[in-house]
Amino acid sequence: MASSPQFTTPGLEVVNPVPKQELHQSYGVPPPSPGQGLLGSPRNGGYPTDPYPVETMNSRSKQGTFCGMRGTTLVLTIALITVILAAGIGGGIAGTMAVDNAKSANIKTVTSTTTLTPTGCSISAAASSATATPTTGITVPTTGFLALNCPSLSASNEIITLGTLSSTFGITCGQDFTPVNGVSSDIVAVISYSLHDCAQACASYNRDSGKLACKAATFNSDLTSIGTNYGTCFLKNNTGGAVTGTSNIYAGLTLAGSN
């Protein structure tokens, strides 16, 4: 017969313990045999079958582990690390090989270029030399006397050949051609820097005009006279007013023949 609850401490209710027989019946398990505890123990063997087995930390620790990891986890971790290391090593080797190949390719290219350089350099050097060195101009004098070997040139000839036209001029030092009957014989005044150039100017005039219009010329070696006479070589259309003096700074050219 159940007894009424007892209060030993204010606010706390003490319940009568449930009999062992009723406890086992409520969970559907047979009561322990005499000499066994309520839940059994290693000492007395416990129940043959425990309806509510309890997994303890000791039972888990009995499974195979390494550094706190199970065998499967450990194997997967090692495999992953191996793959990462292999990829890193492989990538490093491939990168090194690529760099070496690139270096080899560059070395070959430079060698090939060097082999072809001598011919190219010779041409480039010549071209650079031609363009880098400008032609040095000369300053034409405006005073003084041009070369004129008079009186030694008198009675000599100056021959000018222009294409198929050959012209021969007789030289007379100190000779000039003055106006005839007040008419000047001058055709044109040009600047020439030698007796030869003056004779060539007369021959060129005849060649271009298609007739022997220039019959004589006077060359003046005095450069100062250019300012007043506008030239040093004066082409003439006749020889009627020829005069000869003793000056050796000018000379006359008379057309002796042309063919």
**What is the model's pLDDT at position 86?**
75
Note whether 161 and 254 are same-domain residues: yes
What is the spatial distance between Cα 205 and Cα 214, in angstroms, rounded to a whole number? Answer: 7
103 inside domain: yes
43 inside domain: no
Note whether 93 and 168 are same-domain residues: no
- Look up the CATH number of the domain holding residue 237: 3.50.4.10
Q: C-alpha distances in angstroms, 137 versus 80, 126, 134, 165?
A: 84, 21, 9, 32
Residue that terminates a domain, selected from 88, 115, 142: 115
Note whether 188 and 253 are same-domain residues: yes
Note whether 99 and 163 are same-domain residues: no
55 inside domain: no
Burial class (CB in 10 A: 0-12, 13-18, 19+), 151: middle
Pull the structure tokens for residue 99.
Answer: 């760099």
Note whether 166 and 254 are same-domain residues: yes
What is the spatial distance between Cα 7 and Cα 158, in angstroms, rounded to a whole number? Answer: 164
Pull the structure tokens for residue 48.
Answer: 């043959």
15 inside domain: no
Amino acid at 145: F
What is the spatial distance between Cα 148 and Cα 9, in angstroms, rounded to a whole number? Answer: 157
Note whether 243 and 164 are same-domain residues: yes
What is the spatial distance between Cα 204 and Cα 199, in angstroms, rounded to a whole number? Answer: 9
Note whether 170 and 226 are same-domain residues: yes
Which residue numbers in the chain have pLDDT < 70?
1-71, 90-91, 94, 98-99, 102-133
**What is the model's pLDDT at position 23?**
52
**What is the model's pLDDT at position 116?**
53
Residue 16 in contact with residue 23, Cβ under 8 Å? no
Domain range for 110 is 64-115
Note whether 168 and 228 are same-domain residues: yes
Pull the structure tokens for residue 216.
Answer: 């004589």
Note whether 253 and 162 are same-domain residues: yes
**What is the model's pLDDT at position 4?**
53
Pull the structure tokens for residue 257.
Answer: 């023949």
33 inside domain: no
Note whether 168 and 101 are same-domain residues: no
Residue 207 in contact with residue 163, Cβ under 8 Å? yes
**What is the model's pLDDT at position 53?**
55
Q: Which helix (H) or strand (E) holds 66?
A: strand 65-66
Q: C-alpha distances in angstroms, 68 versus 53, 59, 203?
A: 24, 14, 120
Q: C-alpha distances in angstroms, 214 versus 108, 149, 159?
A: 73, 24, 15
Give how many domains the chain has, as a whole number: 2
**What is the model's pLDDT at position 132?**
61
211 inside domain: yes
**What is the model's pLDDT at position 130?**
52
Q: Is the pTM of this model over 0.75?
A: no
19 inside domain: no
